């Protein structure tokens, strides 16, 4: 029986520094200026699942510090009324009560000089939310988070592995890109699970180990 290992390796906290930029350099520049208050402070990000929207919102919250509040909208009924920068993630998951709360908080932030960076899986016009909230979300900048190419995903995997304390060789990266789920979020979750699996088995992360893990978990 394989020995269970404590998960002593932690996933790196999301920052702009450990985000693989790809085609999103302009988007990140807009986020940076929004955090500093020197440009448009109302931004809506949209992109496919796993494109990095959550990473970017958490990175923005971390950089903004105590004045910011990150909220996963699927778990929210209310929004922090003291933060001057609200990061509202996955707005497509807002309940009816939460939609009203976010609409009111948006208005309050605009009146007080605050800011809102929201994210969703589609552009505002395609969301099935209250019309008044959709109007507000579309008032500021609307930016797409572009998915990474395979080469960029490979670099992202290598970077994440290094942050977790091990090296991922090119053969393993190619195997993961061919056999594991394609979006970046799923690839990262797979890598984290492989790290725990390798620790428990007291082995390195190699193609045979990846193959064994995938056969047990897919």
Query: How does pLDDT run across 41-100, given as a tens digit for each residue?
Result: 999 999 998 889 999 999 999 999 999 999 999 998 889 888 999 999 999 999 999 999
Q: Which segment of 7-16, 156-165, 194-203 scores lowest on mean pLDDT?
A: 7-16
Handedness of CA 82, 84, 90, 92 (dihedral sign): positive
pLDDT at 5 (0 to 100): 41
Q: What is the mean pLDDT of residues 97-108?
A: 96
Contact (CB, 8 A) for 97 and 77: yes
- Distance between CA 202 and CA 184 in Å, rounded? 26
Domain boundaries of the chain, sorted by first residue = 25-144, 150-217
Q: Computed over its alpha carbons, how large is the radius of gyration of the chain?
A: 19
Residue with tokens 């209250």: 130
Instruction: Mention every residue, 6+ apart, whose C-beta is less than 8 A from residue 57.
Output: 45, 70, 87, 88, 89, 117, 119
Note whether 25-144 and 150-217 share their fold: no
Report how far residue 105's alpha carbon sits from residue 8's, in angstroms, rounded to the nearest whole number.
39
Class of domain 150-217: mainly alpha
Q: Which fold has domain 25-144?
A: Rossmann fold (3.40.50)
Reported pTM: 0.84
């Amino acid at each position: 029986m394989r020995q269970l290992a404590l998960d002593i390796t932690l996933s790196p906290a999301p920052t702009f520094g450990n985000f693989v930029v790809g085609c999103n350099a302009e988007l990140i520049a807009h986020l940076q200026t929004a955090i500093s208050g020197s440009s448009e402070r109302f931004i809506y990000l949209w992109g496919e699942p796993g494109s990095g929207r959550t990473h970017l919102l958490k990175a923005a919250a971390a950089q903004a510090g105590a004045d910011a509040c990150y909220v996963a909208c699927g778990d929210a009924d209310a929004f922090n009324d003291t933060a001057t920068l609200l990061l509202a993630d996955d707005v497509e998951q807002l309940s009816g009560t939460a939609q009203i709360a976010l609409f009111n908080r948006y208005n309050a932030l605009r009146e007080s000089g605050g800011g809102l960076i929201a994210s969703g899986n589609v552009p505002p016009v395609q969301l099935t939310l209250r019309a008044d909230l959709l109007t507000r979300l579309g008032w500021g900048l609307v930016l797409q988070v572009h998915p990474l190419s395979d080469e960029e995903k490979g670099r992202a995997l290598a970077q994440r592995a290094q942050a977790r304390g091990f090296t991922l060789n090119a053969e393993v990266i190619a195997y993961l890109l061919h056999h594991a789920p394609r979006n970046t979020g799923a690839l990262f979750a797979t890598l984290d699970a492989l790290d725990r699996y390798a620790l428990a088995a007291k082995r390195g992360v190699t193609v045979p180990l990846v193959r064994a893990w995938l056969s047990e978990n897919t």
